[in-house]
Each structure stands twice: as C-alpha cells, then as structure tokens.
Amino acid sequence: MKHSKLHSLSKKTMTISKPRVKVEEEILNDFMRIIEESNGVNPWSKPWNPSSSEGHINFVTGNRYQGMNVIFLEMYQFSKGHELPCWVGYQQAKKEFNCVPKKGSSAARIVRPNPIKIDLKTDDGKPVLDKEGNPDFYMKMTFKGACVFNIQDLVGLDDAAQQKLDNKIAQFKGECQENARPLAERCKDAHDRLMIFKEDLKGGLRHGSDRAYYRDDLDSVTMPNREDFKSDEAYLATLAHEFSHASGHKDRLNRKWLNNYSQYRPQEELVAELSAVLCANRLQITCDTQNHASYLGGWASRIKDSKNPAQELFKVFAYASKAANTVLGEA
C-alpha cells in the first residue's frame, strides 16, 4: 500500500517497447484467468520447496529465466500444480530427451528479447552521423513470444526416453534436496539483503503500525511489528512489497505511477506485488504478502478495463522487474 502526498511527474520517463499485440493479449488473458481460478488464494504464495532453489530454469541449458518471465512461470506453475520450476521448449524436449508434451497439456507463454537496430534520420530523411562520421543508430528493445513446457508435462516417445527423463528429474530433485538451506538461514539472508535497501530510505523503516505502507513525501516505510505477521516469510514478503513502492521514488526509478498514485493506483499496486514475487523468488522465500486474489483481481480488472489493457499490463511486468532489481541492488 502506498500512502503519501503526490509528487509532480518528472520529464524523465522510462520507455518500454511492447511485444506484438497477440503476445500481449495472450499473456493478459492468462494472467486474468489464473487469478480468477485461484479461488481467493494469492497465485504465487505457494510454499517454497528445495526444488525451487535455482529459480525457474531451462532444464536443458540450466539457464535461469529472468525478469517478467519469472512472473509468468510462477503463475503457470501455481495454476497447474507443478512441483518443479523446470521448463523446455518443444524442440528441446524432442532433441534432448526424445519426449513430447502429454496429451492435453498446455504451454506457458514467455517473452524473449528481440533488439532492433533503428537508424537515426533528420526531418528530411537524411542519415544522422556520429562523431566519426558514421550513420548513427540506437537499439530498440522489442520482444517475441515463445512457449515452454514444464518437464512434468513431458512423456517419452519410448521406454528408454521415459527412463532417461525420469532419471534426470530424480537427479535434479536429489541435488536440490542436498543443497537446500534451512528456513531460518534463508530468512536471515533475505532480511540482510532487504536491510541494504533500507539504508537508502531518507525516512527510514518504522514499526508499530497496524498496517504496512510507504510514504513518498517522507521516503519512509512503516510496518506492523514482526510478531503481528503469521511468519517471518510473510513479514519479509510484505516488506519487499513496500520497498518496491519505495523503488519508484523520484530519486530512484522516478516511476510515474508512484508519483501520480491516485491516478495509477491499480498499476502501482500490481507493480509492488509482482516485484515482491520476484524478490521472494531470488531470496528463496515464500511470497506471502497476505494479499488475497480478490485484492489482486480488483486491480487487474481495472487495468483490463483501460484503453490498452494488454500493453498496460506488460508495462506493469517491466516496471516490476526494474523495481525488484532496485530493491535487491541488482539494477
């Protein structure tokens, strides 16, 4: 929750290129469907388990999915009840494991960067030259849609392929279990990481209130006492939510939705909530901000009723990614 006087909007803005409309609309529909089907439960508050220690990964390359793709995959994993955050593309599954998706399974949608070179031109169409006399340009970041399948939705095309896949999954689970850290250790590390961001707050962090909120006029976060939360993870996830609001302060990301909160409250609240999801994923804790699906669905529905809902939601995801990077010092 954000609570404050409002700053005027700075001329400094963040430019986000949008993916193709089809991809945007598919992701918007998935987002709304998952929230509606979650039966009042926050769609990313599933308990953390050792298999999530590496985050969402491509099961073939071992690379971690980043940014807004983590949000997409978290929601999809929750909605399907999958235990493992491991994904592969259709062709990867066939090539590496001789496996295909099970009948009736569906893919999770993600986006991939697709930078495009744009030549700079004058008003009369002539090339703009740089200091060396070469045609100047800039790179515009766009995105393409892609589909991945959870490895638990795969089936081998023969017995040998199925055995190979089963062995790989068992090995992965075993390694995760062996390397799993105790909850108390993970919570301590998460607290220490978040306290680094606290030092940048001009008004600091205060406790003793009956609710959690950020004030941008004071640049301060106020929280209930730790014992008022049902768990350390719930406290830390809520703190990450409020710090995510603080990331938008004019001296940090200068997010227009925070600076004009009364006008953009649905967008700003979703940014903070989804940023908390990303923070929790990296900190290896459960993202339990105690915000019900009805709360999230209310904000999402207002975005869906806006002029360009799919594009607006995509901006939410992009801003949330930047907010999480700022809170965790990874910007």
| pLDDT tens, position by position, 291-301 | 655 566 676 77
Mean pLDDT (whole number) for 20-45: 71
Report the SS3 class of residue 71: helix
Mean pLDDT (whole number) for 138-156: 90
| pLDDT tens, position by position, 238-274 | 999 999 999 999 999 999 999 999 888 888 998 999 9
| pLDDT at residue 13 tops 50 | no
Mean pLDDT (whole number) for 41-50: 64
* Helix H or strand E segment including 185: helix 183-198
Main-chain phi, psi angles of 328, to 5 degrees? -95, 5
What percent of the chain is helix, strand and coil (3-state, nearest 5)? 45, 15, 35
- pTM for the model stands at 0.79
Neighbours of 299 (CB within 10 A): 20
**For position 290, what pLDDT does the model report?**
63
| pLDDT tens, position by position, 106-122 | 999 898 878 889 999 98
Strands, E assignment, 52-123: 57-58, 86-88, 99-101, 108-119
Who has greater pLDDT, 179 or 60? 60
Contact 193, 209 (CB under 8 A): no
Mean pLDDT (whole number) for 167-175: 94
